[in-house]
Amino acid sequence: MAKYKVEITGINTNNLKVLSNEEMLELFKKYQDGDMEAKQELISGNLKLVLSVLKHFNRGNINLDDLFQVGVIGLIKAIDNFDLNYNLKLSTYAVPLIVGEIKRYIRDNSVIRVSRGTKELAYTILKFKEEYMAKYGIEPVNSVVAEALQIEEYQIAFALDSLRQPTSIFEPIYNDGGDTIYLSDQIADTKEQREDKDMQISLRKALQKIKTREKNILINRFIVGKTQMEIAEELGISQAQVSRIEKCAINNIRKLIK
């Protein structure tokens, strides 16, 4: 793993406070009662967690100050949604959200490599799992792996994720002999798109002329933002059927607005 110290402009990382479990519990209770100062203390007391995540990324053409700010956003989301009934550490819950925010930022702005140390840890984890299974016949749980390798549990998922290859949204994931379903069909469309008012009027008129089921599927897919799988479960039909109805509806809409 990377050994360098993360330097953040305007912050003395050596003086950052680390909260004990008891302090964290008390602050969460106060925050859930509406105490916003308690929330700020929770954020400040977990900034070192964000720094620990940043160490897994090589310093490249993206400013670490920016990555730190993005990581803090993930931390805040974790604090806002954390439930004491989860019966787990905040770090276990927060790290995936912090990593997700950083990866999303990196993906949208440039390309950055995961550190060699993280990948080496991933191979070490895989080797340990293989040897454990050969010896005991079962796969070790994360707590066993973490204790054996003297790492935190959250680092296991983080390291193994570094070995995954990116998947194209046009990757075919299902084919029942008819229309192929691609990964993009599984992704909800949540981006707001600005359209010409005349086009909006034409679309509204066209929607009133197609079949009710076709209209409902298009509304759920592209306005509500549901996936084909979610719609299929609600209608009690297969995803392949939803895909075919959706494509037929789109073709009918195109004919009507020409």
74-98 pLDDT, tens per residue? 999 989 888 887 677 888 888 888 8
Same domain (yes/no): 19, 101 = yes
221 in Cβ contact with 232 (< 8 Å): no
Q: Is residue 8 part of a domain?
A: no
Least confident of 8-17, 201-210, 238-247: 8-17
pLDDT value for 124: 92
- Is the model's pLDDT at 168 over the cut of 60? no
Q: Is residue 144 part of a domain?
A: yes
- Is the model's pLDDT at 189 over the cut of 80? no
pLDDT value for 150: 92
Rounded to two decimals, the pTM is 0.44
50 in Cβ contact with 108 (< 8 Å): no
96-105 pLDDT, tens per residue? 888 888 888 8
Run of H or E including 180: strand 180-182
Cβ contacts of 38 within 8 Å, gap of 6 or more: 27, 28, 30, 31
CA distance 111 to 4: 21
Confidence category of residue 176, pLDDT binned at 50, 70, 90: low
Least confident of 8-12, 27-31, 39-43, 217-221: 8-12
Cβ contacts of 160 within 8 Å, gap of 6 or more: 122, 125, 126
Least confident of 58-72, 119-133, 234-248: 58-72
Q: Is residue 127 part of a domain?
A: yes
Most confident of the ranges 6-10, 64-68, 193-197: 64-68
Q: How far is CA 157 from the centre of its chain?
A: 13
Total structural domains in the chain? 3
Read off the CATH number of the domain in which 61 is found. Answer: 1.20.120.1810
- Is the model's pLDDT at 203 over the cut of 80? no
- Is the model's pLDDT at 48 over the cut of 90? no
Same domain (yes/no): 18, 65 = yes
Same domain (yes/no): 66, 147 = no
DSSP 8-state class, residue 110:
-
Mean per-residue pLDDT over the chain, rounded? 77
CA distance 221 to 228: 7
Query: How many CB atoms lie under 10 A from the CB of residue 24?
Result: 21
pLDDT value for 4: 41
Q: Is residue 85 part of a domain?
A: yes
- Between 222 and 32, name the one with better pLDDT: 32
Same domain (yes/no): 147, 215 = no
pLDDT value for 128: 93
pLDDT value for 144: 92
- Which amino acid is present at 230? E
pLDDT value for 192: 45
Same domain (yes/no): 137, 213 = no
Same domain (yes/no): 19, 105 = yes
Read off the CATH number of the domain in which 229 is found. Answer: 1.10.10.10
Same domain (yes/no): 251, 184 = yes
Q: Is residue 166 part of a domain?
A: no
Report the b/e string of 123-145 with b at 16+ CB within 10 A.
eebeeebeebeeeeeeebebeeb
Query: What phi, psi does 33 have (nearest 5°)?
Result: -95, 5
- Give the Å distances, CA to CA, from 205 to 88, 214, 218: 52, 14, 14
- Is the model's pLDDT at 58 over the cut of 60? no
* Boundaries of domain holding 30: 13-109
pLDDT value for 162: 73
213 in Cβ contact with 245 (< 8 Å): yes
- Is the model's pLDDT at 177 over the cut of 90? no
Same domain (yes/no): 134, 53 = no
- Give the Å distances, CA to CA, from 140 to 95, 122, 125, 127: 22, 15, 10, 12
Same domain (yes/no): 186, 101 = no
Mean pLDDT on 238-246: 88
